[in-house]
Structure 1
Amino acid sequence: MITEYKFTSQELEAQIATLNEKGITEFSIHDESVAKDKKRVLKIINLVARFAPDVFVSILVDASVIDREVAAAATQIFCSFDIPLECTAKGGKLLFDKKFYSAKARLLNDFGLVFGFMLTYAVGTGDTSKLFMERLDFAVGQYPNHIEFPQLMNTELDPPRVTGIFSAADIRYCRDTAFACQTFYTAGRAVPWFLSVLKPLRIYASRFFSDFAEWQRVNNCSYKSGFDPHAVNHKEIEKMQLVFLDQKYEEKNCHNLITLVHDIVALNGAMSRLAGEGEQAQLVTSYNPDDLLSEEAVDLVSFCENVCMEECKVRIFETQDGPDYEVI
């Protein structure tokens, strides 16, 4: 039984009409000639909406083509945009336009679309470890569903280059931090709660991930160990997240928030597994799930000061409108 098909760039549009016939449920389009062609992106989206509306489509899209027309069209289908965060070299310096990318991310968030960023390091002239960490911090702050690092998946693609301002040690540090982000944030499905949980620690996301990289090294699940975060059950990643968060919250003397953090991570994790794997669940929380999933949970310190603990047994289940929960 064929489980994977590959199409050339020239075949894409013609093959979309055959996706359902072939039993394809996920379709990935990572073609640079498509990514920078707005008309073609729109054509592909409209073809998917017409012939394969139930297929999940991952599309590599250059940020320059994203506008209200593209965003509105994308709401017709089940899709995710993968957006490279690119820099430009000028006068020996690497420039990154935060305003440009934040505007694109805000537009996609306003339309309720799923998107992720793709980051590289030690590729552009003038890049440094510090600049890469700044791009990573920026990326996390835009609420992307995922953050990917193509160099981790394909070492021959844009290989990092040692320069006078980007040493081999810097490259290893960035690689390990990127892998930690890929594990904790992307494979860990942390987007709904990460920034809220990070805030009480008063550290940058890049520092958090570099600390997690060291934790991975000590616990034999680092990049060099060969660990593949996408090959293990999400529950295993969640266990890692909770152990490390316990460590960080203890380190920062935020002991009183640990129970709340566990509830938020566990409840969101269970909801994500229902959506992703169809796995229904029951769990016990120390706070009411209505409160845990409310806007109040954005500020953990304020939440603990103003919301009463209420032990609940929660059932996570599927409905016609998607994942839901009830207190039983």
Structure 2
Amino acid sequence: MLFDAVFLGEAETSFAAWFKAWLGAMDGQESGSPARSPIGESVVMRSRPCDAASLPSPWLEGILEPKRGGAVAWELTRGCPFHCTYCYEGRGSTELRHFPEARITAELELFVRRGVSEIFVLDPTFNVQRGRALSLLKLFARKGGDIAWNFEIRAELLDPAQAEAFSNLPCSLQIGLQSAFPKVLEKVGRDIDRKKFASKVGLLNATGAAFGFDLIYGLPGDSLSGFRESLDYALALSPNHLDIFPLAVLPGTILRDQASEFTLDFDRKPPYLLRGHSSFPASDMAVAARLAFSVSTFYTRGRAVPWFLAVLKPLRMKPAEFLAEFRTDFDGREYALPWKHGEIEALQCAHISRLYEKRGKSALIPAALDLVRYHGAWS
């Protein structure tokens, strides 16, 4: 027997009850007998969602210790009303259960006293309830000191008041775009209205709030050309950063159950990454991975957001085309990471110069490179 018990879902209450029974049974064993489960066979228990208000705080109880200068992963809400099939949350509770504001305030005051430098809010969608999001953002601005914040949000739920509140915090927002194609997203329990999405993101750009997107390549029904178009759509909205991942077919998710239906070929060992499927074969997955590396290096780590679209305009190139060619400039160098910013900037300038010469724009090279170096010096 490998396990005495397996708990599915939130287990604070059910585990405590089981463990008390286990301790009581252990007390009944003869002294010196081998340690074993006195309850009998292994049990599998599906735990009901906990009442968040009744749970003790691991921070205030001293179980978890915030460190000066360190980062904290902070849970404010449980439950997710969305049903993304590749995500464990899609099979969890859809009921939103909030930790009380008094507890949140006390925990935040503890983090400030202990000198925490950064907080990652674990809520799957921080702004799922507008009023609560605004209330918490005001609390963080008032009592959060110099802490840097990280939130996951839905762009479609943004409004001007939220955008303004986010801009008043030193924070970064992560937005799960995943794909720009409604038919692709429909297969994994999501949707998108491109015009509405762009309009909402425009609120963040207008207030100066920093944000980034997630993109997934290899989604059911997607293709390499579709992924490239999603990349073009994403970069046209000027995110501060872009995080790109291959699809992971995680055990226990709805998507894992649908793997055969979508012809998904994937690794059976962690991290369960997709190898390919009928419309996104393994060879195209490799091309997408190289393109993702180019985006990470040239755009995100290269701090290109202030000048990227301006530099592309004279070339009349789409972002995916431009970045795909950049990857060929430094094959094999990925193993030298991390590079200093000056090294990445040198690669950026070399790539821009080559493409401007190739497209008959040599006269514009000094201006383009000045733009890159100016923003690099300030960032």
TM-score, normalised via structure 2 length:
0.62
1:210 aligns with 2:324: yes
Tell me if the contact between 1:35 and 1:62 (Cα under 8 Å) persists in the aligned partners: yes
Could you give the per-residue CA deviations for residues 264-285 of structure 1, whole angstroms, max 9, x where no partner exists?
Answer: 111111011xxxxxxxxxxxxx
Number of the residue aligned with 1:68:
160
1:49 aligns with 2:163: no
1:267 aligns with 2:374: yes
Alpha-carbon spacing, 1:2–1:92, altered in 2? closer, same or farther (3 Å): closer
Aligned residues between the structures: 264
Correspondence 1:61-100 to 2 at 5 A: 61-87=153-179, 88-89=182-183, 96-100=192-196
Could you give the per-residue CA deviations for residues 114-142 of structure 1, whole angstroms, max 9, x where no partner exists?
Answer: 2111111112x211111111111011111
Q: Aligned partner of 2:297: which letter? A: T
For the residues of structure 2 that align with 1:158 and 1:137, how far apart are their CA atoms?
27
For the residues of structure 2 that align with 1:119 and 1:129, how far apart are their CA atoms?
13
Alpha-carbon spacing, 1:157–1:97, altered in 2? closer, same or farther (3 Å): farther
For the residues of structure 2 that align with 1:32 and 1:73, how far apart are their CA atoms?
19
Q: Aligned partner of 1:146: which letter? A: H
Alpha-carbon spacing, 1:54–1:158, altered in 2? closer, same or farther (3 Å): farther
Number of the residue aligned with 2:73:
7
For the residues of structure 2 that align with 1:159 and 1:38, how far apart are their CA atoms?
35
Number of the residue aligned with 2:108:
16
Could you give the per-residue CA deviations for residues 206-241 of structure 1, whole angstroms, max 9, x where no partner exists?
Answer: 011111122231xx223xx3x54xx33212211111
Number of the residue aligned with 1:114:
210
Number of the residue aligned with 2:345:
238
Tell me if the contact between 1:129 and 1:174 (Cα under 8 Å) persists in the aligned partners: yes
Could you give the per-residue CA deviations for residues 134-168 of structure 1, whole angstroms, max 9, x where no partner exists?
Answer: 11101111111111124499995683351111010
Q: Match for 2:222 among 119, 127, 130?
A: 127
Q: Aligned partner of 2:70: which letter? A: E
For the residues of structure 1 that align with 2:211 and 2:365, how far apart are their CA atoms?
30
1:221 aligns with 2:317: no
* Structure 2 stretches lacking a partner, 5+ long: 1-66, 77-98, 251-266
Work out which of the two has the higher radius of gyration on C-alpha atoms and give 1 or 2: 2
Instruction: State the identity as a percent.
Output: 31
Q: CA deviation at 1:89?
A: 4.0
Number of the residue aligned with 2:231:
136
Q: Aligned partner of 2:231: which letter? A: L
Q: CA deviation at 1:172?
A: 1.0
For the residues of structure 2 that align with 1:157 and 1:140, how far apart are their CA atoms?
27
For the residues of structure 1 that align with 2:320 and 2:239, how far apart are their CA atoms?
15
Number of the residue aligned with 1:165:
279
Q: CA deviation at 1:248?
A: 1.4
For the residues of structure 2 that align with 1:181 and 1:173, how far apart are their CA atoms?
13
Q: Match for 2:300 among 175, 186, 204?
A: 186
Number of the residue aligned with 2:19:
none
Tell me if the contact between 1:82 and 1:116 (Cα under 8 Å) persists in the aligned partners: yes
For the residues of structure 1 that align with 2:191 and 2:360, how far apart are their CA atoms?
38
Correspondence 1:291-306 to 2 at 5 A: none
Alpha-carbon spacing, 1:31–1:158, altered in 2? closer, same or farther (3 Å): farther
Tell me if the contact between 2:218 and 2:285 (Cα under 8 Å) persists in the aligned partners: yes
Q: CA deviation at 1:15?
A: 3.0
Q: Would you tell me which structure has more helix in proportion to its own residues?
A: 1
Could you give the per-residue CA deviations for residues 160-201 of structure 1, whole angstroms, max 9, x where no partner exists?
Answer: 351111010111111111110111111111111111111112
For the residues of structure 1 that align with 2:205 and 2:271, how far apart are their CA atoms?
30
Q: Aligned partner of 2:280: which letter? A: F
For the residues of structure 2 that align with 1:232 and 1:240, how far apart are their CA atoms?
11
1:104 aligns with 2:216: no
Tell me if the contact between 2:121 and 2:149 (Cα under 8 Å) persists in the aligned partners: yes
Alpha-carbon spacing, 1:121–1:38, altered in 2? closer, same or farther (3 Å): farther
SS in 1 for 2:116: coil
Alpha-carbon spacing, 1:150–1:74, altered in 2? closer, same or farther (3 Å): same
Tell me if the contact between 1:67 and 1:104 (Cα under 8 Å) persists in the aligned partners: yes
TM-score, normalised via structure 1 length:
0.71
Q: Aligned partner of 1:210: which letter? A: A
1:146 aligns with 2:241: yes
Q: Aligned partner of 2:146: which letter? A: D
Q: Aligned partner of 2:372: which letter? A: V
